[in-house]
Amino acid sequence: MEIRKIITLEPSSTEVVSFLDGDTSRIVGVSNKCDYPPEIISKPKIVKSLINVSEEMSSLEIDKEVKKHLASGKPIYEIDWNAIKEIKPDLLVGQSICGVCAFPINSLLSHPHNRISLEEFLIYDYSPRNFYEIFLQIYELSKIIGRKNKAEELLEYLYFFEKELKYLGKSRRIVMLEWIMPIYVAGLWISQIIEICNAKTLIASGEEGRDVDWDMIRNFDPDIILISPCGFGIKRTLKEIDLLYSLPGWKDTRAFIKKNIYVVDSVYTSRATPRIVEFVKNFMEILNENEPRREVMIRLE
């Protein structure tokens, strides 16, 4: 089947298809959360978030709003079935890991009565749960859309990182915070990256990130703390950094004493896309006690 029209239902899928194609010409519909590459913003919005979140809201206020919405039983996302029917895509790509972060594509599979016939197009569930699966699932998708060569180039990074990351962690304890208030610790591919370098983490590879009591992190006494709230850039995270500094024992952690606390732009960590390569490159720099690229992460003094 020739794939001419693709709808991507969330940011990671959009980035992956754009990377494999080298442009956005085959993408004919996206979600309103898709923002990269920039030209994707003008594409028709097939999926829209129904949670009212603004830039002015704190991480705690956002968390409360999401939990309030979930408790009400209302859907988090609205999908335009009529637009899909009119566009007649050949392929839909989306994720099923987190129903809060993005529209879960598995809901299409479980609710085939949604006014469209699922036999009219292919569905690819792009849901890697660890670092290796990011590369392998991108490769599988590349075969569907006829871009194997591009994916094979990306696989070379996986082989390189497997070799270069090994032992760099030196059994150090490393955590990444993926939300500030309440505190969530990242898992999935972030945990596997930490494990590959022979460092220790609180959440095992493949497990989803979850809220963790500060005392648990404090007792773990990390050597390195990475702060990368989902959906936040570096400047946005810095607005709330004092909330962490006010935690009891924050300034007594090894990471604080050794000045090994970094704020990371979440586009390089929370999205399972080729941009994870840039995170790993900079992660290797800090393990080697070098300075990272400031557009990816910054060290807190």
Torsion sign over Cα 226, 189, 230, 150 = positive
Distance CA(206)–CA(35), nearest Å, equals 26
In a domain, 108, yes or no: yes
At residue 100 the predicted structure's pLDDT band, cuts being 50, 70 and 90, is confident
pLDDT tens for each residue of 121-148: 899 999 999 999 999 999 999 999 999 9
**22 phi and psi angles, rounded to 5 deg:** 80, 0
Q: Would you tell me how many other CB atoms lie within 10 Å of the CB of residue 211?
A: 10
Both 194 and 123 in one domain: the answer is no
Last residue of a domain, one of 127, 158, 185: 127
**173 phi and psi angles, rounded to 5 deg:** -95, 125
259-286 burial code (b ≥16 CB/10 A, e <16): ebbbbbbbbbbbbbbbbbbbbbbbbbeb
Q: Given a cut of 60, is residue 30 above it in pLDDT? A: yes
Cβ 203 vs Cβ 176: under 8 Å: no
Return the pLDDT at 113. 45
Q: What is the pTM of this model?
A: 0.94
In a domain, 66, yes or no: yes
Overall domain count for the chain: 2
In a domain, 147, yes or no: no
What is the spatial order of strands in the sheet that 210-211 belongs to? 210-211, 184-185, 174-179, 224-227, 261-264, 297-299
For residue 99, what are the domain limits? 6-127
In a domain, 142, yes or no: no
Cβ 30 vs Cβ 43: under 8 Å: yes
